[in-house]
Structure 1
Amino acid sequence: MYRTSSRLRRTAGVLITLALLAGPAAAEDYAASHIAAAREAIAAAHASEQFDAILPVLADQAKALFQRSNPALVQEIDSVVNDVALSLASRRPELERELERVWAARFTEEELKAITAFYESPVGKKFGENMPLVIQDSMRSAGIWRDAISTELVTKSRDELIKRGHQF
């Protein structure tokens, strides 16, 4: 549950960031070739796959919400929420279009083609496959470091304050 909640918060944060980034871009028109280059770069980088879990997570949360209110209807709630979620899955291309505009706003068509070429290269493929694990390991390492520094900061600060005659 905590993992799903944490993942949902991260996903929501990414979506909010994308919405903020897409705001100014939405007013601009991009050449079809520029959007196509963005689409190819996104596909090559597997950049939109991280958003595949949004609808299932939201469906699970909706089920939990309704089931807390009426536990006797678990099966009917599951059925209804699943049906509604499946009907909303057809709206996924809306997100793809927004992502294409975000990428087009941040990169030129030539840069997008270079990004695509990179991700289609052997090292780019390896980078794409390993980057989620690298990010996960990096976040874990940063958390361990943060916790150690936090402990040291509190301990040394407390010691210094005690030396100065304060009680903690």
Structure 2
Amino acid sequence: MKRFSGLLAAASVAAGLALAAAPVMAQERVPDAPAAPAVKQSTPAAIAAAKEILAMKNVSAMYAGAVPGIIEKTKTGLLQQYLNYQKDLEEVSVIVAKKMAGRENEIGEGMAKIYAAEFTEQELKDLVVFYKSPLGQKLLTAEPRAITDSLTYIQRWAQQFGVIVNAEFKAEMKKRGKDI
């Protein structure tokens, strides 16, 4: 059962991949480790509740392909710079993928800490209870569909509105004696 908006997931992963590939283009410069965002300390129980909420929302689907995606993007960037090493880079990408397998779990850990910093332990526990309720279960099931349908509606609206705006531009330009 798909519980999280695929579009949101794709957008988030794409943004992460775009940022992660930046060091590849920096030509052999070893980037400094990114500074972790300042997250207030939370209790283990708050973090556990946050993890439970994230699991119920199937948020891991959002970043499941992050590690292979970043490896592939890095390999592609290196191939553009070192075309003669294609065979080696293909082989090395398999080695790097094995070494880095599972690192996407760091994302889930970080997200849980962020949630635990944003909500009190009791609020998180209340959210767990809510998501386990019939209404909470319905929200988990229906929300991704509602978000997807809303995004589709926005796209259609924007296309139709764009036609209207285009017609207005043409009308205003025609008033100036310029047919476009």
TM-score, L = length of structure 2? 0.68
- Which residue does the alignment assign to 2:117? 105
- Identical aligned residues as a percent: 25
Q: Which amino acid aligns with 2:13?
A: T
2:96 is matched with: 84
1:23 to 14, 27, 37: 37
Conserved? CA contact 2:46–2:120, under 8 Å: yes
Q: CA distance change for structure 1 residues 62 and 13 in 2, over 3 Å: closer, same or farther?
A: closer
Q: What is the correspondence of 1:85-164 to structure 2 with a 5 Å cutoff?
A: 85-163=97-175
1:70 to 71, 83, 89: 83
Provide closer, same or farther for how the CA distance between residues 143 and 66 of structure 1 changes in structure 2, counting only shifts above 3 A: same
- TM-score normalised by structure 1 residue count: 0.72
Alignment check: 8 A CA contact 1:8 1:54 kept: no
The Cα of 1:29 is off from its aligned counterpart by 1.3
| Structure 1 residues 57 and 91: CA distance shift in structure 2, 3 A | closer
Q: Which residue of 2 aligns with 1:57?
A: 69
Greater fraction of residues in helix: 1
Name the SS for the 2:42 alignment partner: coil
Distance apart, 1:66 and its partner CA = 4.2
The letter of the residue matching 1:80 is: V
Shift of 1:127: 3.0
> Which structure 2 segments of 5+ residues have no match?
1-7, 20-35
CA RMSD of aligned residues (A): 3.0
Task: Indicate conservation of the 8 Å contact 2:130/2:136, yes or no.
Answer: yes
Answer yes or no: is the 8 Å Cα contact 1:46–1:128 preserved in 2.
no
After superposing the two structures, state which structure 1 stretch, 85-94 or 143-152, moved more: 85-94
Shift of 1:71: 6.9
Give the whole-Å Cα distance in 1 for the aligned partners of 2:16 and 2:158: 23
